[in-house]
Structure formats: C-alpha cells, structure tokens
Copies of this chain bind each other. A is one copy, B any other.
Amino acid sequence: MEKEISQAVIRRMPRYYRYLGELIEAGAERISSGDLSSRMNVTASQIRQDLNNFGGFGQQGYGYNVKYLYEEIGKILGLGRKHNIIIVGAGNLGQALANYLEFEKFGFEITALFDINEKLKNQCIRGIEIHMLDELDDFVKREKVDIAALTMPKANADVMANRLVELGIPAIWNFAHVDLKLENQDVVVESVHLSDSLMQLSYNLEQNAADR
C-alpha cells in the first residue's frame, strides 16, 4: 500500500513533523486537525487524508496527540535510525552542509567530505575529514554510506553520481544545477536546486511589482 503514496504527500510530511515539533516546544499535548490546518495553511481534510495514508493516528473528538503523532511521523520518515552522509565537493556549499548541526538531530551524520583540491587535503570541518577523491572507493567499501550529497559543479555531476551509485550508495542528495541522468533507476535522488528556487521567487516578485 505504502508504495502508492504520492511524493506530494511525502513532501508535506516533514512540514507536519516540523510543526508538531514546534507545538511540543510550546507545550501543546493535543491538537485538532482544524487547528493544525489553520496553522499550516492546509485544509483539515487534506491533513486527515495525508495521515490516513499511514493509518490515521487521530481520534474522533480528541484530535491528535502531539507527541505521539510527532514520533510516528518521525518513524515514517525513517528518522529513527542513523543515516551516514558523505559530501562530495568540499567547496563552500559542501562545507556549509558539514557545519550544519540541524541534520544530526534527525539522525543524519556527516562522516566525510571528498574533493579534488589538494589544498583541502587532511583539513577538517567540525572534526570531519576532507579526503581526496582517490580515496573514495576505499572509504565506501570500508564504511557504511547511506547518502552522498553532491555539492560540485554540474559539468561532472552525472559521471560522479553514477560512480557513487556503482559503489553501492543507495541515495543521492543532489545540489548540482542539473537533473541527474542515472543509469541505475533504483536509486533515490532528491535534488535541491537553489537557482530554480531563486527564479521562482523572481517570477513572483515581478508579478507582485506589476500588480502594484
């Protein structure tokens, strides 16, 4: 059943998780789908539908238990178990990701960075070593790697992504400004296209200006 859940639903789950985390911080114990709905700008029926994909979690007349729902969504998102991440491309963006502590709270641990720039050799970011790219194969054979974050220019991104997949890494978190063309379709790819996001903002900015 779960296989058929659309990516649009999955995309909303981290948002639910985030809001529920905020509610816990604020000391809330339960919430109605109506209240959750007005906070999140999603209809109450949408919330019920989304959560029903995974079995519901709500009780008629009570709403949702905040902590329980938070934990269940966490499990659905696989946040219960530890995920090791390597970062391929130790430039500014790669280093920024390595320095970002938020991910560790959710079980994502960055275990190594890789680059071709000799100047970065043996340097560390927050205790995480930058390796040269020729050490990649040995590293991946030796250590469990769940996710490779690709923070390198687009020119070689496809070649590198396919190499990472051949080494057995099951997921690519792609920051290169390109939609990856992978030979193996069985790999999880999630892309963050910063320029696309900026262009969407730019469009909306132009529209707003035109409306004034």
Per the 8 Å Cβ criterion, residues 89-117 of A in contact with B are: 91-93, 95-97, 99-100, 102-103, 106, 108
A79 interface hit (Cβ, 8 Å): yes
Report Cα–Cα, A203/B179, bound state, in Å: 20
Count identical subunits in the complex: 2
Beta-carbon contact of B106 and A203 below 8 Å: no
Task: List 4 other contacts, CB 8 Å, given A18-B195, A97-B194, A192-B197.
Answer: A10-B200, A15-B179, A188-B201, A188-B208
Per the 8 Å Cβ criterion, residues 168-198 of A in contact with B are: 170-171, 173, 177-179, 186, 188, 190, 192-198
Minimum distance in angstroms from A106 CB to a CB of chain B: 7
Minimum distance in angstroms from A23 CB to a CB of chain B: 13
Beta-carbon contact of B103 and A92 below 8 Å: no
Q: List chain B residues, Cβ under 8 A from A211.
A: 3
**Pick from B146, B171, B188, B204: contact of A10, CB under 8 Å:** B204
